Amino acid sequence: MNQSAQPQPPSWFSIEGAAFPLGVTWMADEQAYNFAIYSKHATAVSLLLFDELNLRQPVLRLELDHLVNKSGRIWHARVSRKDAPDAKFYGYQIDGPRGGQHFDLHAFDAEKLLLDPYATEVYFPEEFEREAAMRPGCNLGKAPLGVLPDQVDKFDWGDSNCRFHEHDLVIYEMHVRGFTMNPNSGVAAIRRGTFLGVIDKIPYLKQLGVTAVELLPVHQFDPQENNYWGYMTLNFFAPHAQYATKPGGALEEFRTMVRALHDADIEVIVDVVFNHTAEGNQFGPSYSFKGIDNSTYYITSGSPSQPYVNYSGTGNTLHCKNRYVGRMILDSLRAWVQVGHVDGFRFDLASIFNRHADGSVSLEDSRIVSAIRADPVLGKVRLIAEPWDAAGLYQLGRAFPGKRWFQWNGRFRDDMRRFVKSDPGLVTALMCRVYGSDDLFPDDLAEACHPYQSVNYINSHDGFTLYDQVSYNQRHNWDNGEENRDGHGDDHSWNCGWEGDKDAPSDVLQLRRQQAKNFCALLMLSAGTPMFTAGDEFLNSQGGNNNPYNQDNETAWVDWSRLKQNSDFHRFFRLMIAFRKSHPTIARSRFWRNDVRWYGTDGDVDTSYESRRVAFFLDGQSQDDVDLYVMINSHWDDATFVVQEGVDPSWKLVVDTSCESPHDIYEPGCEPKWTASEFPVKSRSVVVLTR
């Protein structure tokens, strides 16, 4: 008898559901959905499916039986499409132990409708209410829901591809909504502040010359939390629904944006926040993680008055050392690479990865950092750390366990700010930063770091804009509602002699533009990876607000009218980017070493406390490139620099930040010759010669 001809019994997984993969998965061969969710301490789990007509009454409610629908610590179920043909959304209700302390601090509420942490798209009902998640009891009809995935992924990536930029990598930090939300952006009203709105600005990005955009958080965040920046994550797998032009379109429109940017040879890096969530402290909402398994997801203190540890400064800290949380982080990152085709990640407050549950720090190794780099998918993308946290842990440079990661270089930011505003005792520090910060990223035998690991920046979303950096001595954050106490207390800024723009004298305004050009020039002339914030290239202003995290208005939106108003400065910025990209001698894989020689105005470098001048010669022969001679004067007096590489009729003047446009930077082929042995460098200016 042919045994193979006998009918086979139904698969166990078809009856019970499968524990892998987590989240909801369409099983085409069965015309069914598989659901899987982790909860170590749950005693009862219910799966609820809803249609579009009634979000208060589920079309299907399935009580999971641990003897059928649980494997280890994962609850699972299989639901045939025919059992809920009109279902569009889903959520969970979960019960478990009450109270507890420290590692057993629970927040179960059997009536609370909870969002699946692995939902790939989030739906917000018209009656969505944050307050309902902050109260105990039922929140049906007012809770965010997971969206059941399409049965077939029809998105066409075409031939979209983007090369991995090296010497020409220039990162543009951008807030998706703020980039085009201003009516003067020139973007159609329906597309302003959306993923599709970014597409409309791609011709501008190409003309500017940037080769990567670093997007402030695009994970789904709480739309009612009053956090415009997006650093209050509600879900780590779904794109922010409010950045779409239509309901249910976030994932498709995000991928459409990525495809268009890749077609323009622009990489996409996303800012991810795996250090905390939108659920806050004990008074915050219970949307998802708290109600599913509080003690798994969060680091707890054992203190009745402050039960959640707050290394993030936002009320809670994600328990990244927990094996399951680490798995969720890796799964999220892989999904954004494989489904969203992103090219890299910037990790907000990445040092929290190195915190143990008791707050101690892992200095030598981090399980999650090692797992990310070892992953075959994630090992191929850019990984950028913000190497500190909000509780004082600072791991910039070799102290961060991700040895090959890029890092936001806060020392570059601070030293450059202080040097340009003429603080004393900074010549040595300036030389180190321009060289690529080898004190932080050493290339000795043991470490073998690269200069490109240093992400150099003067300004980011977190602090003053470039223009405000040279226009305000003090923060002006009253609109934030915290009595001007929030934001950095000292941005090392200098207003050039007048606070703000109102009635500012013309000589002050001229000096501000010159100082901004100095920052731009030094950023683009330094070894490392340059980054700047959207709008800085045309002197965008936030009116002195250095922490507009809750300003979803014209304070934080990019003001495109300043592009025309400051077209001469924009020209300078654009040409400095082009200059850097056309000269690979600046941005090398390895440090300049013997190709660079440092000078003073006449002779050796003066590194004394009161010195504010330095020059350097960069030999380009090893890179088949031109030679550079750069003279930097941050003193308030003019100075004559001797060109100490000899009089040469082939020297050309490219940059002089003291001059008015178009003589502050010359287009290729239009540079005047410089044959004199000396150059009169004006106060607070940067000069660049090439040959």
Q: Which of 386, 389, 536, 625 is catalytic?
A: 386
Is 348 noted as a catalytic residue in this protein?
Answer: yes
Query: What number of other Cβ atoms are within 10 A of residue 140's Cβ?
Result: 20
Contact status, residue 278 vs residue 252, Cβ threshold 8 Å: no
- For 432-480, give the DSSP string: HHHHT-TTTS--STTT---GGGEEEES--SSS--HHHHTT-SS---GGG
Which residues face 579 on adjacent strands? none
Classify residue 394 by its DSSP letter: B
What distance in Å separates the CA atoms of residue 532 and residue 173, rounded to the nearest whole number? Answer: 6
User: Going by C-beta distance under 8 Å and a sequence separation of 6 or more, which residues neighbour residue 19?
Assistant: 36, 71, 72, 74, 76
Q: Which of 462, 474, 519 is nearest to 500 (CA)?
A: 474
End-to-end CA distance of the chain: 88
Tokens found for residue 492: 């090392």
Q: Do residues 294 and 117 make contact, with C-beta atoms less than 8 angstroms apart?
A: no
The pair of structure tokens assigned to 400 is 């961060």
Query: Is 541:495 a contact under the CB 8 Å cutoff?
Result: no
How many Cβ atoms are within 10 Å of 27's Cβ, its own excluded?
18
- What residues pair up with 457 in beta bridges, in sequence order? 531
Sign of CA dihedral 458, 459, 464, 467: positive
Whether the CB-CB separation of 398 and 440 falls below 8 Å is answered with yes
- List, in sequence order, every residue forming a beta bridge with 34; answer none if it has no partner: 25, 78
574: left (phi over 0), alpha (psi -120 to 50) or beta: alpha
**Contact indicator for 215, 270 with CB cutoff of 8 Å:** yes
Is 153 known to be catalytic?
Answer: no
- Strand order of the sheet with strand 74-80? 23-27, 32-38, 74-80, 70-71
CA atoms within 13 A of residue 37's CA, in its CB half-sphere: 30
- State both tokens at 209: 């010359």
3-state secondary structure of 279: coil
**Tokens at residue 131, please?**
């307050």
Identify the burial level of 647 via C-beta atoms within 10 angstroms of its C-beta, where 0-12 means exposed, 13-18 middle and 19 or more buried.
exposed
Is residue 404 a contact partner of residue 360, using CB atoms and an 8 Å limit?
A: no
Q: What is the largest CA-CA distance in the chain?
A: 102
Catalytic residue among 16, 348, 462, 625: 348
Residue 382: which residues within 8 A CB-CB, separation 6 or more? 267, 269, 343, 344, 345, 406
The span from the CA of 181 to the CA of 192, in Å, is: 5
CA nearest to 467, candidates 517, 507, 503, 523: 517
Q: Active-site positions?
A: 348, 386
